[in-house]
Homo-oligomer: A and B are copies of this chain.
Amino acid sequence: MSTLTKELLDESSMRGRGRPRDEDARARILQAAIQILESTCFINATADAIAERAGASKATIYRWWPNKEAVFIEALRETTAQELPFPDTGDLREDIRQQLHNFVKLLTGRRGRTFKAFIAAGQSDPEVAEAFRNLWIKPRRAQTRAVLERHQQAGRIAPEIDLECFIDLLYGPFYLRLVGGHRPLTPALADAITDMALAAATHSLSESVDGSGETIRSVPDPAL
């Protein structure tokens, strides 16, 4: 975080003559960008605000990034890269429960505002939308899918379940409350979704147990 990241690797060979880039300023700018998204909305996330908070100059920002959005995108990449790893204990229920609880904790914290800001900004800026997809959504989905695939192959998720849709079923409710704001994001929701998602994933499984190999998706008589 301090002035430790000076000359690194063998970039010294391709270094020009003049004063080198201030890596510390780079870090401060990215951190300021994220902090602004965490506190206020995108509307207040101006280039001046970043510069002021980072103790840097606007000229410095525009020397290294083509525009304001690029700063936010790089900041998102650096801060969310390692977040929310899907648990893989072998216990499907516990994996899901843990993950959804962590997700709630993430969304109710500072990161929730960051995501809302990116979702909002993505509507008018395709590059921001693509960045949010590629840097946040897709990596999480890929990792989630990897774990769920193992559970499915182990028979703990019914084989006819479309995992992509199942992942939407898992995370969708939380994004809905995040952007809808009709109800708060609580651990209770995480528990409820865990129960329901697990029932959905194992339903046909428990049915195929009692008899027909044909996976009949029979429902209790609609008329009571």
Contacts and interface: CB of A to CB of B under 8 A. Distances in A.
Contacts of A132: 180
B222 A91 contact: yes
Interface secondary structure of A, over-half rule: helix
A67 to B, nearest CB: 15
What's the interface size class on A, roughly? Answer: 35 or more
Interface in A143-165: 154-156, 161-162, 164-165
Interface string A9-26: 000000000000000000
A174 B175 contact: no
A116 B129 CA distance: 12
Interface in A185-206: 188-189, 192-193, 195-206
A189 B175 contact: no
Interface stretch (A57-65, A77-85, A101-109, A133-141): A133-141
A8 interface: no
B182 A176 contact: no
Which 9 pairs from chain A and chain B are nearest by CB?
A172-B172, A199-B203, A196-B200, A172-B173, A168-B173, A165-B192, A43-B124, A120-B123, A172-B176
8 contacts: A129-B181, A133-B181, A162-B192, A165-B173, A165-B188, A165-B192, A196-B200, A197-B200
